Amino acid sequence: MLLERAAGLAAKINQYEKLKGTAHEAAQFKTRADQFGAIAERMDRTTAALSRFAQAKIAVGFAFHDPALIERTRTLRTAIEQDPNAIGDPPFDLKYEFADRLYGLCEAAGQAMLQAWQAYVRDAAQSSSDEILNALSALPQFRQTIGRIRQCRMEIQSMFASVPEDVAAGAKRIGELVEAQRTAWAELSASDIPPAVIAFLKACGGDGAPLSALSDDVRAWLEARKLLGAFRILIR
């Protein structure tokens, strides 16, 4: 009886050890599955964002290319195909040499997309200086129009800070705001301001006024109202 009980106990112990080993392997697989799942989700989000930039025809200076990482991916896939347990003991440091590198690529892609978006907004938006707007808003004739221009600028600046979820819609909105600014500048008018000054101010609010437009009369009008220092010469 004692021997039978001992044998039964030994069998139970062996069964427990097998179950414990199986549970340990399952825990390892779950850990790796969670790890790879998080990486895959981040990669999917990044590639989807890059695709949205491509659809909006905004170039991003980035490409997923890392020869060492590609080789590690092949090595890991081959090892798992030969023995699934290799996932618990990979041929290299899975976190520092693989996962962190992938996360790093995604982070670099995010920075490249932000830079591309900000460059797009910067190139599209008009760059009237704050000094010009402050000076013109002091004139009652222009206050309302300058207020509209400022509202457009504020929205553009808020959009400049981060990449929109819908890049194409964001680019379209930037175009609308730029056009609204052009319209506002074109509507500048005042009966007591010389036509040459109005033409100069409108040109400055658009693509810029040629230096020849700064006639003696325009210069004198601006200087008399302490507006001359608000303008800058840009060589193109």
pLDDT at 29: 62
pLDDT at 32: 65
Rg (CA), the chain: 33
CA 193 to CA 198: how far, in whole Å?
A: 7
pLDDT at 27: 64
The ranges assigned to domains in the chain are 2-122, 125-230
pLDDT at 116: 96
pLDDT at 10: 42
Full DSSP string of 173-220: HHHHHHHHHHHHHHT---TTS-HHHHHHHHHHHTT---GGG--HHHHH
pLDDT at 75: 78
Kindly tell me the number of DSSP H helices and DSSP E strands found in the chain: 8, 0
Question: What are the tokens at 122?
Answer: 């910067």
pLDDT at 4: 38
10-residue mean pLDDT series, the chain (236 residues) = 37 46 57 72 89 94 77 75 70 75 88 96 78 77 87 92 94 94 79 76 72 82 77 70
What is the DSSP-derived secondary structure letter of residue 225?
A: T
pLDDT at 52: 95
